[in-house]
Amino acid sequence: MIKKVAGPLVMAEIAGARKGDLVKLGEKHLIGEIIELRGPLASIQVYEETAGLKVGDPVSTTGEPLSVELGPGLLGAIFDGIQRPLDQIRQQSGDFITRGIEVAPLPRDKKWAFVPIINQGSTVSAGDILGTVQETQLVSHKIMVPEGIAGTVEQIKNGDFTVDETIAVVGGRAITMKQKWPVRKRRPLAARFPVNQPLTTGQRIIDSFFPIGKGSAACLPGPFGAGKTVIQHQLAKWSDADIIIFVGCGERGNEMTDVLLEFPELKDPRSGRPLMERTVLIANTSNMPIAAREASVYTGAAIAEYFRDMGYNVALMADSTSRWAEALREMSGRLEEMPGEEGYPAYLGSRLADFYERAGCGTCQGQPARQGSLTIIGSVSPPGGDLSEPVVQNTLRVTKIFWGLDESLAHKRHFPSINWLLSYSLYVDNLSPHLAKIVAPDFLVNRERALKILAEESELEEIVRLVGLESLSPKEQLLLMAAKMIREDFLYQSAFDPVDQYSDLPKQAWLLKTILSFYDLARQAQEAGKTTAEIQELKTIQAIAKARLSTEAENKNLQSDIKDEFHNLIGVQYHA
């Protein structure tokens, strides 16, 4: 029975209540979760609008924690924060979600072609793959033995089944193609290993300067308008992950609408198939009940871990964790808990750590042996762009990658607006052997040189602002010219250009090497008596500027053209 209603928080007396249980409230059976027990009273965060609830309304417990349904039908779906399929809800209730509506997350009427890979009489345990379903043309869905089940396969079928029909009997227990998993409980790996494979994103400033590995976690903080959501979209479109989980947590409705309209039209760059065939979208906009924000990131993580356990490389985009933290702060205030810094609960750091620590790579449970990874990229929206605020600082404590967005770069229309002086990646040493092997032996050396040039440019800019460019030496003026080429011809990337929106690692390495080779030749020319003005008149500068917008075939003669032009200028051949 309800005793008190305070926004999304409801206090009630429930027989047999347990912390974490899912409950249903009132005549409409609104969904809520018990988050605290004080004597006979249970504190419930309600995932729907509580208007109309009153003292004395009935409350019943389901006896189960908040869980997700896992099985064929996830890919291509669009869910809300508690895994209700929005397209099915729209068919039943129109453009607005009816309170208390109950729709199965996975389609119950669709049949899937199940192909077993084991035989009757085999011995299996949790995590073993029983068979496969070709869910989309891009992804083969592996049906695994659920947690807590082990024994001899007494029966296994082959054919078309719904997710509710029995496909196998193991140890006397029937197994279907769907299983449930509590969203706040991590799915275990058999063994973890260090991150050593890069997650290629096609974004030059990330892949070349601040790389991310498969199984790592990254923080993407920045003020309003700095381009967090755009970068998240680019990573979802172009990263070489097998599965993409995109969680819009408390974002503005128009931004989420862009995602929902744009993603179904996108093509997977590797196969040419629709990108939605390997994507799951979770939409929880800012006007939806605030408690569902807190659940949405866990829902995304549980689905992501499920696909990781199949042996896939999964990338989870959470946009943005600040809205999630705000939901924690509101619920904490209503629970009358002692506030921490800036009103956030004292357990903010541990909750963030618990979420980001779900990232990782390793050997999956069960047979056949397979390896999978889960990469988490969370954007943070600090008020006023203040990177010292609690959500950013607590996130940085548990992530090893920091892509700091710069509002001034965004205002200059420089995208991605990642500040190369603030950002860092602590995975460079882990990834360097692999990058040197698959890209070029000098790739990381060139990366260090480019970052050093940009750092020196930042120091010289102070002098230029005070006494002007003419006060610099010719060598320093040439360095500023090289830094400008790195910024404008390498780091700047257009999301709308069909060629420039994605740049593979070999092209990135070639383009950076070309710019640095030009700088080396320019220094030789300067030593031979040529002025910076003469060097700036060279035609190949414009060719380098256009190289990022051109194909490999169009650029194949560029480096030789640069050498020939300098040969004509200084009369000697270039030698490295």
| 157 annotated ligand-binding residue | no
| 366 annotated ligand-binding residue | no
C-alpha–C-alpha distance, residues 539 and 526, integer Å: 17
Give whole-number Cα distances, 373 to 53, 435, 458, in Å.
Answer: 43, 18, 37
| 222 annotated ligand-binding residue | yes
C-alpha–C-alpha distance, residues 448 and 442, integer Å: 10
C-alpha–C-alpha distance, residues 158 and 563, integer Å: 65
C-alpha–C-alpha distance, residues 396 and 67, integer Å: 29
Give the tokens for residue 463.
Answer: 């002098």
Contacts 24+ apart (CB under 8 A), 81-86: 81/47, 81/249, 81/282, 81/284, 81/288, 81/292, 81/293, 81/295, 81/296, 81/299, 82/31, 82/47, 82/292, 82/295, 82/296, 82/299, 83/282, 83/299, 86/283
Residue appearing with tokens 């420089």: 414
| 228 annotated ligand-binding residue | yes
Helix (H) or strand (E) holding 37: strand 30-38
Collect all residues with Cβ–Cβ distance below 8 Å to 253 and sequence separation of at least 6: 285, 286, 287
| 224 annotated ligand-binding residue | yes
C-alpha–C-alpha distance, residues 426 and 544, integer Å: 31
Give the tokens for residue 10.
Answer: 């409801």
| 483 annotated ligand-binding residue | no
Dump the DSSP string for 167-189.
-EEETTEEE-S-EEEETTSPPPP
Work out the burial of residue 334: count CB atoms within 10 Å of its CB; fewer than 13 is exposed, 13-18 middle, 19 or more buried: middle
**Cβ(460)–Cβ(480) below 8 Å:** yes
Q: Which of 170, 168, 166, 131 is nearest to 150 (CA)?
A: 170
Three-state DSSP at 90 gives: helix
Q: Which of 178, 138, 173 is nearest to 162 (CA)?
A: 178
Three-state DSSP at 501 gives: coil
* β-strand partners of 34: 44
Q: Which is it for the CA torsion 143, 144, 145, 146, positive or negative?
A: negative
The CB density around residue 123, as the number of other CB atoms within 10 Å, is 12
Phi, psi of 194 (to 5 degrees): -65, 150
Work out the burial of residue 367: count CB atoms within 10 Å of its CB; fewer than 13 is exposed, 13-18 middle, 19 or more buried: middle
C-alpha–C-alpha distance, residues 408 and 288, integer Å: 32
| 223 annotated ligand-binding residue | yes
Collect all residues with Cβ–Cβ distance below 8 Å to 459 and sequence separation of at least 6: none
C-alpha–C-alpha distance, residues 448 and 455, integer Å: 11
Binding-site residues for ATP sit at: 222-229
Q: Which residues are annotated as a binding site?
A: 222-229
